[in-house]
Amino acid sequence: MKYRYQFLPVFCVLSFMSLTTTGWCFQNADTTKIMQETKIVADGATPRLISKQFSFTEGPTADKKGNIYFTDQPNDKIWKYDTDGNLTLFMDKTGRSNGMYFDKKGNLISCADERNEMWSIDPQKKVTVLMSDYKGQLLNGPNDVWVHPKGGLYFTDPLYKRPWWTRPGERIAAERVYYLPKNATQPIPVDSTIKKPNGIIGSPDGKTLYVADIGANKTYKYSIEKNGTLSNRQLFAEQGSDGMTIDKEGNIYLSGNGVTIYDKNGKKIEYIAIPEKWSANVCIGGKNKDQLFITASQAVYTVPLKVKGVGSK
């Protein structure tokens, strides 16, 4: 999940079930035809623009009712798109929230990278700082987060220098994946070999974690051990991602140049072109948990699905 200041226009070539992933992708007649024939996207559906009033949208996540929350990080705001289609401002002064995820209690867990912290925001907007450093050093900037069913947090910490950083202190050199156990204040590195970790999501049974290495353009799959550590790292897809989500069938949605969908075995099965420079992140929400929500540069979009999302994202 990164906030970019400029985009370099290169182009992609789209054919049935195949895609080069090095540039901007825009919807056309061929894309519509592909989407009409899919098993994931609703028949005849195309991306629907909800709003284009933001600076850079990120961090979408759905609560238990299917309401979707997302960030406009440069403007330091969290917005809510409810199940009736209403778009409202939920919170201002959000610690420059980036990636977010709801816990079982309905608290919004946020990567608040203004001061390189992890926050819990309750429904009344009360903030609790869950973690603010690693052994006295500043993190690079917590970027994306997934909440394990037992309450622990997994988050990525790549370095993207921000113009709003003023917090003094020594910054960690390594870009890692961390696990923060429930009620702990110090995170545990669980993968220090990844080049630039970014998008992250886990399976609803809490047994599997997916992490995108956007620096190496790969996505990995891990087994989650009982103590929260990771094992059995496997290459899941030869594609990185800015953000990601999972549906009830175990399909993984990777964002960046549009949205690419892989089945649970890592086979690319569908692609959704989004008419924006960059699609930063995705989640599934709505009344029936069958609406794919995409944060894409200055805009947000929805796409109706034939499958449903899981949990609170």
Nearest to 111 by CA among 98, 95, 130: 98
Q: CA-CA-CA-CA torsion for 77, 195, 26, 281, nearest 10 degrees?
A: -30
Q: What is the mean pLDDT of residues 254-282?
A: 97
Contact 308, 247 (CB under 8 A): yes
Which tokens go with 206? 């809490």
Q: For residue 94, which of 79, 109, 76, 80 has the smallest C-alpha distance?
A: 76
Note the pLDDT tens digit of each residue in 138-152.
999 999 999 999 999
Q: Is 3 helix (H, G, I), strand (E, B) or coil?
A: coil
Q: How confident is the model at residue 310 (pLDDT cuts 50, 70, 90)?
A: confident
pTM, whole model, 2 decimals?
0.88
Question: Which pLDDT value is given to residue 171?
Answer: 87
Name the band, by pLDDT with cuts 50, 70 and 90, for residue 169. Answer: confident
Which pLDDT tens digit goes with each residue over 174-200?
999 999 999 999 999 999 999 999 999
Whether residue 86 is predicted with pLDDT greater than 50 in this model: the reply is yes
pLDDT (0 to 100) of residue 74:
96
Alpha helix (H) ranges present in the chain? 29-36
pLDDT at residue 249 in the model: 95
The pLDDT of residue 27 is above 50: no
Question: What are the b/e assignments for 14-42, b being 16+ CB within 10 Å?
Answer: beeeebebeebbebeeebeebbeebebbb
User: Above 80 in pLDDT, residue 121?
Assistant: yes
The confidence score (pLDDT) of residue 37 equals 59
